[in-house]
Amino acid sequence: MELGIVGLPNAGKSTLFNSLTEAGVPADSYPFCTVDPNVGVVEIEDRRLDKLKEHYQPETCRGAPLKFVDIAGLVAGASRGEGLGNEFLSHIREVDAIVHVVRLFAGGEVAHVEGAIDPLRDVEILESELIIKDLETISRRREKTERMLKTGENKYREEVSYLDHLQEELESGRPVRLMDLNEAEEELVAELFLLTAKPTLFVANLSENKLENRENNESILEMRQLAEERGEELVELSATFEEELVELDPEEQELFLEEMGLESRGLERLKRAGYDLLNLITFYTVVGDEVRATPVPAGSTAPEAAGKIHSDMLENFIRAEVINFSTWAEVENMEAARSEGLVRTEGQDYVIQDGDICYFKF
């Protein structure tokens, strides 16, 4: 599962991406980590995992990985091929969800591409490019559907009406993900891989000195209102501040955060929000000398979860022994938990819950 970082030029995407990956894990921890400089895998901070680690003292401990892709190259007019144009848009098509970075910091070393700071205008510029692309996709589909209409089958007539609906709303500036769609329309949208259908969260990239007094900042309030109206997540941070934090050791970081009146690092808030945006939950495995946190889409079954550890385990799944972290934390002793009957045996239909500690038998 991948999160694509998008935004207008000089919004702070690369700064954010770099601080994410510098604070991240050594690349060789994850087999799917590539040498592509625009792709980074980071670990989610996880108190439950810390607790398991403290208890088991394993040789290796792996946090849940999350993959970010820095998608540069969007400028106004990208849908007409300006800038990296179509290349940029095809990268967006490949990611599962979007982190949309909006510039709220004034000044800085590089001027804003559009002159003054205006986050709502910037959101609209970027979204219109994606909307135009989606309209093109819909229009191509319509040509096909209209040819098929001649067969007289009802489903093609229905499809035209769905396409009409999507087109109309897109033309009014509404991203697909914010539309109220029926089931058949949802299916069509999934088939078309529309860009504005992807789950999205916003990052308000602030000046360092705006981190402290956010309640009186008009741009921030505008972004909060946009996010709230849409029911989308907004992460407020300063990319350059996060970059500085990464350089410090953990105690210094704590002090620095406290000084700024911040409760947590923006990067951690961003990672957590990205994880939730992808609808991921975490299960844990304690095997031999390794404790590991693994993400799965919410609703995954036990064999599907086992398959995330190793594909053999999906095919040859027999059963899982499961105890949720919250129960384990009460006893902190697997033997005691077993003898008290707190470890359950679950079959292939079991739906994994966030925080489950699993032993897969295969």
* Binding residue numbers for ATP: 10-15
CA 8 to centroid of chain Cα atoms: 19
Say if residue 167 is exposed, middle or buried (CB neighbours under 10 Å; 0-12, 13-18, 19+).
Answer: middle
How far apart are alpha carbons 81 and 87 in whole angstroms?
9
Among 3, 6, 13, 323, binds ligand GDP (CB under 6 A): 13
Q: Applying CB under 6 A, does 210 fall inside the site for ligand GDP? A: no
d(CA 62, CA 48): 12
How far is the C-alpha of 62 from the C-alpha of 51, rounded, in Å? 13
- Based on CB atoms, which residue is closest to ligand GDP, 3 or 293? 3
DSSP character at residue 173: T
Contacts of 100 (CB under 8 A, 6+ apart): 6, 7, 123, 126, 200, 201, 202, 203
Nearest CB to ligand GDP, comparing residues 240 and 301: 240
**In this chain, which of 3, 4, 7, 277 binds ligand GDP, going by CB under 6 A?**
7
Q: Do residues 175 and 127 make contact, with C-beta atoms less than 8 angstroms apart? A: yes
Closest CB to ligand GDP: residue number: 12
**Binding site per annotation, positions:** 10-15
CA 233 → CA 102, 198, 271, 276, 298, distances in Å? Answer: 13, 13, 12, 10, 19
Q: Which of 14, 38, 137, 327: binder of ligand GDP (CB under 6 A)?
A: 14
Residue 268 CB coordination number (10 Å): 15
**Could you say whether residue 348 binds ligand GDP (CB under 6 A)?**
no
15 binds ligand GDP (CB under 6 A): yes
In this structure, the number of other CB atoms found within 10 A of the CB of residue 224 comes to 17
Which amino acid would we find at residue 164? D
Closer residue to ligand GDP (CB): 91 or 292: 91
Contact between 9 and ligand GDP (CB under 6 A)? yes
Contact status: 239 vs ligand GDP (CB under 6 A): yes
Starting at the edge strand that comes first in sequence, how are the strands of the sheet with 234-237 ordered?
39-43, 65-70, 2-6, 97-103, 200-205, 234-237
**Residue range at the interface with ligand GDP (CB under 6 A); choices 23-31, 178-186, 237-245, 335-343:** 237-245
Tokens of 94: 């490949």
Q: Per CB under 6 A, does 119 bind ligand GDP?
A: no
The residue range among 21-29, 165-173, 234-242, 313-321 that interacts with ligand GDP, by the rule CB under 6 A, is 234-242
The answer to the question of residue 266 lying near ligand GDP (CB under 6 A) is: no
Asked if residue 175 binds ligand GDP (CB under 6 A), the reply is no
What is the rounded CA–CA span in Å between residue 152 and residue 150? 5
Taking the C-alpha atoms of 16, 22, 23 and 26 in order, what is their torsion angle to the nearest 10 degrees? 140
Please identify which residue in 219, 240, 282, 294 interacts with ligand GDP, judged by CB under 6 A. Answer: 240
Which residue of 6, 11, 78, 223 would you call a contact of ligand GDP, by CB under 6 A? 11
Q: Which lies closer to ligand GDP via its Cβ, residue 82 or residue 321?
A: 82
- Which residue among 58, 77, 83, 108 contacts ligand GDP (CB under 6 A)? 108
Minimum distance between the CB of residue 106 and ligand GDP, rounded to whole angstroms?
Answer: 8
Window contacting ligand GDP (CB under 6 A); options: 126-134, 160-168, 200-208, 246-254: 200-208
Q: Give contact residues for ligand GDP (rule: CB under 6 A).
A: 7, 9-15, 72, 105, 108-110, 205, 207-208, 238-240
